Amino acid sequence: MHAKQATHTMLAMHGVSKSFLGVRVLHGVSLDLAAGEVHALVGENGAGKSTLMKVLAGEHVPDEGTITLDGRSHHFSHPAQAQAAGIGIIHQEFALLEHRTVAENVFLGREPTRYGLVDRRAMEARTTQLLTELGELDITPRTYVRDLSVARQQTVEIVKALASDVRVLVMDEPTAPLADHEAGLLHALVRRLAARGLGILYISHRLREVFELSQRVTVLKDGRHVTTVRTRDTSTDAIVRAMVGRELSAYYPPRARPEEVGETRLTVRGGGNTRLRGIDLTLRAGEVTGIAGLQGSGRTSLARALFGAAPFTTGTMTVGGPPLRPGTPRRAIRAGIALVTEDRKAEGLALRQSVRDNALLVTRAVPDRERPPAARELTALLERVRLHARGEDQEARYLSGGNQQKVVIAKWLAARPRVLLFDEPTRGVDVGAKAAIHTLVRDLAKEGLAVLIVSSELPELIGMSDRILVMAEGRIAGELPAGASEEDVMRLATASSDGPEPPPSTDPPSRSDPPPPSAQAPHEGTAPTAQEGAE
């Protein structure tokens, strides 16, 4: 398919290391790229792919290591320098101005001028030329970016990179926000770019497209280079093994025995919204259900939908009673649902308030009229979650990550939930506190709560869950029993969208899709300390 076989090394990164706040997220990683090559970069969440690419793009300055482009060594300390050297990066979140035209975006920062004024005509002509070269005849330079589909916005990003004469184009999960047929078009575009002699570094979780597009694959794991192989000499299984190969060493509390699993607490039938489709889900008392999936697969969206923060717009949801109208977190709390969010600092805690105020946040906001919370209960509750704090008056921001998380859990337990949802329960939590949280979660399940855990740490998810639902592209791709292997999970999670699809969603067809999910998609690598430093 590809036009040129790798001829000579154009870009070489050698021995790149990077630490954030003392946590090493890249350990001497090396990578090279030839002109005309599509080089895929794969690895689990937190493997360091995005960090490595941000080093290349000048967004992070490496602690060690060298970058050589066309024989010249570079030290980038600002994105503009990397850009000038010929490195373009297409982020998962587009850096486009919605309310400006395509041409204005493409030439932002380098507008051509004539007699001191911006030469709009030249700008638009050049944009048209670039778009024509790419065969993108449907985009006109005067269109406002906000009026373009996500796929076309991405094309504009690519054109923007091309306009500054890039040699190396980094694409960070470019197909994640795209629908199937759009992904196909993007693949064709990537091939055309490679044929023009660009070197392309292609980060993807979808192994199928990796095999379709790339000449070589590099696998990263825990910030280390695992292997680089020619794509045609390897197999999906080999790549998956290289991605996850690590031992399950941590201790997890014993799973639920069958007799401990009780009545159904929450049911969803055909749940869907802009990010989710055809969700069927049952949560039972005493059981811990794990949700696996790659970033952007809809894991977090599912938790938020159940909690009413971004509710289902189709399907029905019942929580031990009549169907719940989709709605607001407040309604969900009244129904007995609690959500420990992924971003503790922004969504879980009022950092400048005391432990006591934080723990009482929910009960004060949504009071239980029959059983108002007593002060004595609070102390018991904080003991229950084994909080280590200097007292109930200590401000939440001074607690360690683990203790902050315990306060968040206490806050929800005070509301006496029946369904407890955890999104990344131990992100940014040290090892000791992690085990404590795992034990606590299991104890809560034993007491009859229905528990759901979303986690990108596969060992944790497998260790904790009584069954695992794997999500991919907004759907539940399959269910695995307790103790499934990481390979099984990854295989389901990386299954490409070319596979079978669930029944069409009942979304009214006239409504088209929302703005780019990238706006809310969790971004790997931006908070490496939280995720990767945790291990």
Partner 1 sequence: MTGTALAPKADRAPAKTRAPRGRSRLADPAVGVWLAAAAVTGIGWIVVAARGGDFLTLTNVVGILQNSVALGLVAVGQTAVILTGSLDLSVAYLISLGTLVAATTMEDGSVVTGVLAVLALSAAVGLANGLIVTGLKVNAFIATLGTAFILRGWIEENYTGPAGKVPASFQHLGYDRMGPIPVSLFLLLAVAAALWVVTRRTRFGHHLYATGGDEHAARLSGVRTRRTVIAAHVLCSLCVGAAALFLASRLGAGAPWAGTEARYDLESIAAVVLGGTVLAGGRGGVAGTLGGVLVLAVLDSVFNQLGVDPFFKNVVRGVVIIAAVALYARRGARRPA
Contacts with partner 1, residue ranges (CB under 8 A): 79-80, 83, 94-100, 104, 108-111, 113, 116-118, 120, 140, 143-144, 146-151, 160, 178-179, 181-182, 470, 472, 477-479, 491-492, 495, 499-504, 509, 511-515
CB closer to partner 1, 2 vs 269? 269
Diameter of the chain by CA atoms? 82
Burial class (CB in 10 A: 0-12, 13-18, 19+), 434: buried
CB closer to partner 1, 340 vs 462? 462
CB of 91 to partner 1, least distance (A): 8
**Alpha-carbon dihedral of residues 58, 70, 205, 208, nearest 10 degrees?**
160
CB of 318 to partner 1, least distance (A): 21
- Type and span of the H or E element at 69: strand 64-69
Distance CA 191, CA 270 (A): 38
CB of 378 to partner 1, least distance (A): 36
CB closer to partner 1, 133 vs 237? 237
Residue 355 DSSP SS3: helix
Distance CA 513, CA 314 (A): 15
CB of 496 to partner 1, least distance (A): 9
Backbone φ/ψ region at 451: left (φ over 0), alpha (ψ -120 to 50), beta: beta
Quick one: tokens of 184?
């196909």
CB closer to partner 1, 148 vs 450? 148
CB closer to partner 1, 79 vs 459? 79
The angle subtended at Cα 68 by Cα 64 and Cα 74, nearest 5°, is 70
Distance CA 130, CA 258 (A): 62
CB of 268 to partner 1, least distance (A): 15
CB closer to partner 1, 181 vs 397? 181
CB of 421 to partner 1, least distance (A): 22
CB of 472 to partner 1, least distance (A): 7
Phi, psi of 229 (to 5 degrees): -135, 155
CB of 5 to partner 1, least distance (A): 29
CB closer to partner 1, 100 vs 167? 100
| DSSP conformation letters of 244-285 | H-----S--PPPPPGGG--SEEEEEEEEE-SS--SEEEEEET
CB closer to partner 1, 258 vs 509? 509
CB of 241 to partner 1, least distance (A): 16
DSSP classification of residue 455? -
Residues 6+ apart with CB under 8 A from 394: 354, 355
CB closer to partner 1, 8 vs 99? 99
Residue 502 DSSP SS3: coil
